[in-house]
Amino acid sequence: MRHHDCLIDGLEQPAADGRTIEMLSPSDGRTIATVARGGAAEVDAAVRAARQALETGPYGRLAAVERGRILSRMAAVVTARHAELAELEAEDCGKPMAQAKTDITCLARYLEFYGGAADKVHGLQIPFLGDWLVTGLREPHGVTAHIIPWNYPAQIFGRSVGAALAMGNACVLKPAEDAGLTCLEVARLALECGLPPGALNVVTGYGEEAGAALSKHDDIDFISFTGSPEIGTAIQTAAAQRTIGCTLELGGKSAQLVFADADLEKALPVIVNAIIQNGGQTCSAGSRVLIEASVFEQVATRLAERFSALRVGTHAMDLDLGPLINRQQEERVRRFVGRAADLPLLAEGRLAPDLPAGGHYAVPRLYGPVPAGHALAQEEVFGPVLVAMPFQDEAEAVRLANGTAFGLVAGLWTRDGGRQMRVARRLRAGQVYVNGYGAGGGIELPFGGVKRSGHGREKGFEALYEFSQLKTIAFNHG
């Protein structure tokens, strides 16, 4: 049985009290590894190591170009070990292999992107009066805390830690208790790639122990959180208590709008993939499809055909969907399906035969027409459930799309150029795709929410600004 300790100051360290957490396979419930059950003591050691790395260690003195080179080397090593890391990610998260391979490709791409960007963040020069020269320096926050979920550990490691290191922060990462083995592996690889000890520390543990201790630690300077809206509120409260900043990437109930003139051949596979990817356990899942009334029957029928053909199996079977992550997720999805008993079920996929008893499987389901106020049209299921809703005109489409508490991503399908621009501008979401959805992992594209979906932007160059702050220095030269 594999065991992984915390990684603190470049060293593997067990929890002080020796406790561990079993990491279970979502596919069959087997224990695939144990990790240290870190808590307040390990978090404190990790934060101290990060602070020391910045203030007295070699890390704090590294030039931006050197940090970039380390990230670029990490990208190369991740690429060289792609197959092995993809297998680990698939087993740990229960992802179909094809999805896990994509995730590792995205991880390498984040490291490549931020490796290349590290020495390209320029500051400002501001014209000011006559005898002043004013410059704005982009400085790292200092010690950044990264609390991440189990749905895309490798990708979220890449986008969060990659950007923070590129800007010169020292990081403490708390992966989720349900999956995060790739994070530990890649953090170890980072040391081999020349990242000085203490620059990146990983504390494994439960959210209410290690996560809460990290978010409340009095020597962190910034928190990057991806997870549920409820815990997001707790994180922001902890940040507010110490007056530090945070980015929150929370849930969504993202809509895809299909107008009557849409290219359906192109749209349908993308719409289906946007909800079944990772079993619907994706913050940006396209979980509502809004269809112009004149083509509702036609589009719903064609979506239903595709849903009926979907298959669910273990990660190794590599079918359309893998299992859900754990029992709580399985129960959550089952509860939503129970609440959908009054809705027309248009189609459902099928389970592969002879699935292991200990796995957490749910078939994908398509419901419609679903009233706008129904729980399934308003709340995040975080599972493979798509609701279809008709709209009469552009105004109603926008009203329905914006009519939830969330605002993460939206997609719209139409050939009408004017409508593309009008609707894209009126949608309240952090990202809008026109004739597409969530393309290629979106490494370069600023990502984040409005409303209950959170605030702050990750990914792309924008994340480098989130992980830094501007210092204004004004020189009077007389």
Question: Which CA distances in Å does 17 have to 20, 21, 33, 240?
Answer: 9, 12, 19, 31
Q: Which residues pair with 33 in a beta bridge?
A: 2, 23
Gap between the Cα atoms of 322 and 311, Å rounded: 9
Q: To the nearest whole angstrom, how small is the minimum distance from the Cβ of residue 384 to ligand ADP?
A: 16
Nearer to ligand ADP, 382 or 467 (CB): 382
Nearer to ligand ADP, 125 or 328 (CB): 328
Q: To the nearest whole angstrom, how small is the minimum distance from the Cβ of residue 147 to ligand ADP?
A: 5
Nearer to ligand ADP, 231 or 270 (CB): 231
Nearer to ligand ADP, 25 or 72 (CB): 25
Token code pair at residue 465: 């600004």
Q: To the nearest whole angstrom, how small is the minimum distance from the Cβ of residue 153 to ligand ADP?
A: 9
Q: To the nearest whole angstrom, how small is the minimum distance from the Cβ of residue 281 to ligand ADP?
A: 8
Q: Are 396 and 375 in contact (CB under 8 A)?
A: no
Residue nearest to ligand ADP (CB): 207
3-state secondary structure the chain: CEEECEEECCEEECCCCCCEEEEECCCCCCEEEEEECCCHHHHHHHHHHHHHHHHCCCHHHCCHHHHHHHHHHHHHHHHHCHHHHHHHHHHHHCCCHHHHHHHHHHHHHHHHHHHHHHHHCCCEEECCCCCEEEEEEEEECCEEEEECCCCCHHHHHHHHHHHHHHCCCEEEEECCCCCCHHHHHHHHHHHHCCCCCCCEEECCCCHHHHHHHHHHCCCCCEEEEECCHHHHHHHHHHHHHCCCEEEEECCCCCEEEECCCCCHHHHHHHHHHHHHHHHHCCCCCCCEEEEEHHHHHHHHHHHHHHHHCCEECCCCCCCCECCCCCHHHHHHHHHHHHHCCCCCEEEECEECCCCCCCCCCCCCEEECCCCCCCHHHHCCCCCCEEEEEEECCHHHHHHHHCCCCCCCEEEEECCCHHHHHHHHHHCCCCEEEECCCCHHHHCCCCECCCHHHEECCECCCHHHHHCEEEEEEEEECC
Marked catalytic residue, from 185, 249, 380, 458: 249
Gap between the Cα atoms of 7 and 199, Å rounded: 11
Gap between the Cα atoms of 168 and 224, Å rounded: 15
Nearer to ligand ADP, 278 or 314 (CB): 278
Amino acid at 209: E
Nearer to ligand ADP, 174 or 288 (CB): 174
Nearer to ligand ADP, 193 or 231 (CB): 231
Marked catalytic residue, from 106, 171, 183, 283: 283
Q: To the nearest whole angstrom, how small is the minimum distance from the Cβ of residue 318 to ligand ADP?
A: 24
Q: To the nearest whole angstrom, how small is the minimum distance from the Cβ of residue 162 to ligand ADP?
A: 18
Residues at the interface with ligand ADP (CB under 6 A): 147-149, 174, 176-177, 207-208, 211-212, 215, 227-228, 231, 234
Q: To the nearest whole angstrom, how small is the minimum distance from the Cβ of residue 253 to ligand ADP?
A: 15
Token code pair at residue 112: 């490549």
Q: To the nearest whole angstrom, how small is the minimum distance from the Cβ of residue 374 to ligand ADP?
A: 22
Nearer to ligand ADP, 154 or 397 (CB): 154
Q: At CA 154, angle to CA 111 and CA 28, rounded to 5?
A: 160
Nearer to ligand ADP, 192 or 208 (CB): 208
Tell me whether residue 249 is one of the annotated catalytic residues.
yes
Active-site amino acid positions: 249, 283
